[in-house]
Structure 1
Amino acid sequence: MTVQDSHRAESREAVDAAAFTEEWERWHAAKEDTLAGPHGFLAITSLRWLGPEPERFDDAPGSWSAAGDRVVVELAEGEELTVEGTAVHGRYDFGVIGERDSVYAGHGDAVIEVARRGGHNIVRPRHPGNTLRTAFAGTPAYAPDPRWAREGRFVPFDTPRAVTVGAVTEGLEHVYDSPGQVEFAWDGTTYRLTVFNGVRPGSLMALFTDATSGVTTYAANRSLQIDAPGPDGRVRLDFNRAANLPCAYTDLATCPLPPAGNRLPMAVEAGEKIPFERGGQG
C-alpha cells in the first residue's frame, strides 16, 4: 500500500467513525426525549396496585378499584377524565386490560395510566411537573465504539417457548414468548442470549447483564433491540445501544429481569451507564 492509499484508508475510517457516532447520538437523543417527555416514565408520581375496595389517590381523580379483571373508576361531582378524546364523568369501566397493555386517560395536563402488569391491575399517574422529570440531566453512556457492534446469528426454537422471568418489583413475575436465541462470538468464545419479540415487527429484544452490571451500569438489567434477522438468520448486536429500562430511573416501574443464562461474563463497556438519579457518574 502506498502512502497515499494509507491516507485514503485512514480518511475513510475517520468518516465511518464519525457517521457511526452521529447515528448513535441521534438514537440516544430520541430515547432521552421519549423518557423525559411530558408523560414519559420520569413523569410518574406513584404506582397504585388496585384491589376490590375503591381507593382515592392524591395524584389522580376518582375512586379506583379492580372488580375481577375489570378496572373501574368512580368520579365525584366536578371530576372528569378524558378517554379516547371523550370526557367521562361518574362511573367509568375501563374493561379488561390485557397483560402489558396500557390505557391513558387525560386529566388536565396530566395523564393517568391504567395498566396490567404481572397479572395485577395498576394505576400510574403521570404529571409533567414531577421533579424527577424536571430535574433530568440526561443519561451517562460510554462513548460509541464500532468494535461493540457484533455480527451474530438468530437460532430459532422449533416453536416459541413461554419464558418466566422475575421483576424489579418483589413478588412479581412476567411471562414472555421467546422465539429463540441469538449467538455471537467474542474473543474466540460463542455466547447465546435468549431473546423476546422486539418493538418493531420481526425484531428481537435481549435483556442481559454483564460484568459491568452494578459497577458502571445498572445492576438489574439492560435491554438491546435487534433488527429482524436476515434470510440466513444473520443479526447485528450493537451493544452501544444497550439501554436502561425505566426501573433504572424510578422505583415506580415493574421492569422484567433477564432470563436465566443471559448474564455475559465479559465487561460490556458500551451503551448506557447507571443514571445520575441512581448515583451514576458521567
Structure 2
Amino acid sequence: MTDTLEGSTNETEQLARWQRFRENRNNALAEEHGWLTLTSLQWLTPEPSPVELVPGLWSTSESVGLETAVLTAHAEDGLVFDEEGDPVDGTFSAHLSNEESLNWVRYGTIVVELAMRGGRYAIRTRDSESPTRTEFSGVPVFDFDPEWVLEATWEPYPEPREVPISTANPLVDGIHRSAGEVVFRRNGHEYRLQAEQGKLGDLTITFHDETNGRTTEDWRKVTTARPRPNGSVTLDFNRSINYPSAFTPYGTCPMPVRDNSLDLAVEAGEKMLDDGE
C-alpha cells in the first residue's frame, strides 16, 4: 500500500512539473517576435538590393578578409535600430560568425533578424502580427505518460565529434557536435542516441521515431538535465518538442544524425500542428 501511494505521489509531481513545462513552452513560442512570427528568409548578395516586407538596400561586402552585411536606408524609410530605437539614416554594417544571429532593425511590427547560416548572410523578418502567432492556441501534445520517463546512462566520448548533417533548409548544411551517447532500454532492447552537450552540461537529443509523418513532425528533440556524477540521466520523452521548422518554412533547423532513428513509436511529447486531435 505504501509503495502504491509513493508511486502515485511521484507521478502526480511529474505531471505537475510537465504541465508547468508545457505552459512555459507555449508562452515562449507566443513571444512578441518568437518563432511563430517568421514571415520570410532572404539571402543577401553583393549587389545592394531591395528585399520583401521592409525598406532599405541590403547587401554583403568583403574587406580585408572580413565579410559583413550592409544596410543603406534613410530616416524617412521608417527603419530603426532594434536596441537603441534610433533611425537608420545612412549606410551601416554588421559582422556575424557562422550560426550567429542578431535582431538588427525594426520596421513597425517587424523585427529584422540578421543571420549567418552555411557561411552566407540572410535576413529573416519577424512580424508580431503574423497569423501563425495571433491564431496560436498551443502545440498539440500526447497526454503525459510516466512510462516514457526513462532512466538512461550517459556515455561521453573522449572528445566531441563533429558530424555533418542536413537541415530543414536544403541550402544550409549543418554540424552536429556529438559529445557522447545516451543509452536506455525499452521493451527489452537497448537504444543509443547521440547528444550535444550544453555549457551547463545539459544534453540535447535530436531524433527520428516511428510516429514521424503520422502523428508527429519529421523529427523532434528532447533535452535532459546534466547527468548525475554516476553517469545516470533521466530521459523524459514527454518533453520532446518540435523544432521551429515545424511552425515556419523559414527555419534552418538541424536534422538528426544518421544513427538517431528509433524503431519505436514515441507517443509522447509534441505532435504535428495539423494532427487534428
Aligned partner of residue 176 in structure 1, secondary structure: strand
Aligned to 2:20: 26
Q: 1:267 to 1:191 in 2, by over 3 A?
A: same
Contact 2:82-2:111 at 8 Å conserved across structures: no
Q: Quote the RMSD (CA, aligned, Å).
A: 1.6
Identity fraction in percent: 33
**Alpha-carbon deviations, 1:133-192, whole Å to 9, x = none?**
111121110111111011111111111111111011113210132211111111121111
Counterpart among 268, 271, 280 of residue 269 in structure 2: 271
Q: In structure 2, what is the Cα distance between the partners aligned to 1:129 and 1:84?
A: 20
Post-superposition shift, 1:63?
1.2
**Alpha-carbon deviations, 1:36-72, whole Å to 9, x = none?**
2110111111111111112222322311112243111
Aligned to 2:143: 143
Aligned to 2:43: 49
When the two structures are aligned, how many residues end up with a matched partner? 270
Aligned to 2:210: 211
Counterpart among 218, 228, 231 of residue 229 in structure 2: 231
Aligned to 1:35: 29
Counterpart residue identity of residue 207, structure 1: T
Aligned partner of residue 242 in structure 2, secondary structure: coil
Q: TM-score, normalised by structure 2?
A: 0.92
Aligned partner of residue 51 in structure 1, secondary structure: coil
Alignment of 1:91-102 (within 5 A): 91-95=91-95, 97-102=96-101
Q: In structure 1, what is the Cα distance between the partners aligned to 2:23 and 2:47?
A: 42
Q: TM-score, normalised by structure 1?
A: 0.90
Q: In structure 2, what is the Cα distance between the partners aligned to 1:83 and 1:98?
A: 20
Structure 1 unmatched runs, 5+: 1-5
Structure 2 unmatched runs, 5+: none
Aligned to 1:3: none
Contact 2:109-2:129 at 8 Å conserved across structures: no
Q: In structure 1, what is the Cα distance between the partners aligned to 2:196 and 2:134?
A: 33
Post-superposition shift, 1:218?
0.4
Q: In structure 2, what is the Cα distance between the partners aligned to 1:187 and 1:11?
A: 26
Counterpart among 239, 243, 246 of residue 245 in structure 1: 243
Post-superposition shift, 1:211?
0.7
Q: In structure 2, what is the Cα distance between the partners aligned to 1:117 and 1:171?
A: 9
Post-superposition shift, 1:86?
5.4
Contact 2:226-2:233 at 8 Å conserved across structures: yes
